[in-house]
Structure 1
């Protein structure tokens, strides 16, 4: 059912808290690039529990879901059932988000200015430009000098920057990298000022 869905709901027991089975299911949802809403059921039995503290505890246990909305409800009493539906609808909308190419490239340019792209063997990753290539999930393609230089950590960093700027709550972002060839000058969707890789100074941090 997760494979066929656009948005998956991870249902947690408010009293028991997230367990190993929940972590495995959450990982499965992320591996398949599905939108995700975390629904904490039986909230009526968790008297005196602070929502923000519980939310933080969930994210400590499952940090890979830290960008997902958390909704507290009771299926028995009907508490906040509308909130769950709203969260699902909003997340579904985010998985279909359109990212303006110019703004997307500015976000990535700023990200490179803040943190150096990784390097290996004296060669540093150069990101020339980016375009959105799909939705459900949101897909972004980077055109770079060498895709093998894009590390998992830096990929995650760029995804966080994209998600934060476009407020993609609960929506996965799939980022891939392709080499820019010599015959690709003046690529469609490439905004002015992004033909050359961003140069970063030695004072910036490395990832």
Structure 2
């Protein structure tokens, strides 16, 4: 009973820390596996839209096969934060610790990143020429007029559309990945809002990262390349 009370106090402190943080690190005992406390903290990270790195500690005690099973379990049970990379680590041996800290620094930088309007629209225009957005149920075309970044902390983008959008979750993911393919926003969630022509009404949804949990080697910041086009 005393152990349970200590666990509750620990989780309470962790949740309070998440609320006041920009980048959260969730350290999971890989030798024990996920516990309810880990899921509670991940849920808080999701609701607060925090950048996050998952650290699988004591991974030196696991075989490669056991680690793969643990990784798949994390991917399934913590699917509410798919933007959070998982680092194989051991505090005892130092494995993965430097890698995790580098990700924390990079995530903090991406949370503050503001993309210029012209390169952002160049990327969308090129991508949507190759794969346009699907038609509505009534056959109407869904076209992007222009996109811009509204906020940092958490990065928020507004897509101004020719109509109120009707997008399947897979199409929403495609739109998000257009941004991430050029600017990965490491370990960081993105909010994407759709603004139709009707009375300036916004259709807002928070999208939750790449379809698969990002690999930790996708960490190098990519700068806009080439020229830019003008947008009215």
Same-fold status (TM-score > 0.5)? yes
* Structure showing greater relative contact order (alpha-carbon pairs closer than 8 Å, 6 or more residues apart): 1
Find the aligned partners of 1:55 and 1:164 in 2 and give their Cα distance.
23
Q: Kindly indicate whether the alpha-carbon contact (under 8 Å) linking 1:42 and 1:73 is maintained by their aligned counterparts in 2.
A: yes
Q: Kindly indicate whether the alpha-carbon contact (under 8 Å) linking 1:101 and 1:191 is maintained by their aligned counterparts in 2.
A: no
CA apart distance, 1:178: 1.9
Richer in strand (by share): 1
Aligned to 1:83: 99
**1:133 lines up with 2:150 in the alignment:** yes
CA apart distance, 1:64: 4.4
Q: Kindly indicate whether the alpha-carbon contact (under 8 Å) linking 2:28 and 2:57 is maintained by their aligned counterparts in 1.
A: yes
- The 1:43–1:153 alpha-carbon spacing in structure 2 relative to 1, beyond 3 Å, is same
Find the aligned partners of 2:135 and 2:40 in 1 and give their Cα distance.
31
| CA RMSD of superposed structures (Å) | 3.0
CA apart distance, 1:106: 2.4
Aligned to 2:32: 16
Alignment of 1:1-207 (within 5 A): 1-49=17-65, 54-113=70-129, 114-180=131-197, 191-192=229-230
CA apart distance, 1:137: 1.4
- Count of aligned pairs between the two proteins: 187
**Structure 1, unpaired ranges of 5+:** 183-189, 196-207
**Structure 2, unpaired ranges of 5+:** 1-16, 200-227
CA apart distance, 1:152: 4.2
Find the aligned partners of 2:49 and 2:20 in 1 and give their Cα distance.
11
- The 1:48–1:116 alpha-carbon spacing in structure 2 relative to 1, beyond 3 Å, is closer
CA apart distance, 1:144: 1.3
- The 1:13–1:61 alpha-carbon spacing in structure 2 relative to 1, beyond 3 Å, is same
163-172 vs 67-76, which deviates more? Answer: 67-76
CA apart distance, 1:148: 4.5
Q: Kindly indicate whether the alpha-carbon contact (under 8 Å) linking 1:42 and 1:75 is maintained by their aligned counterparts in 2.
A: yes
Find the aligned partners of 1:124 and 1:67 in 2 and give their Cα distance.
30
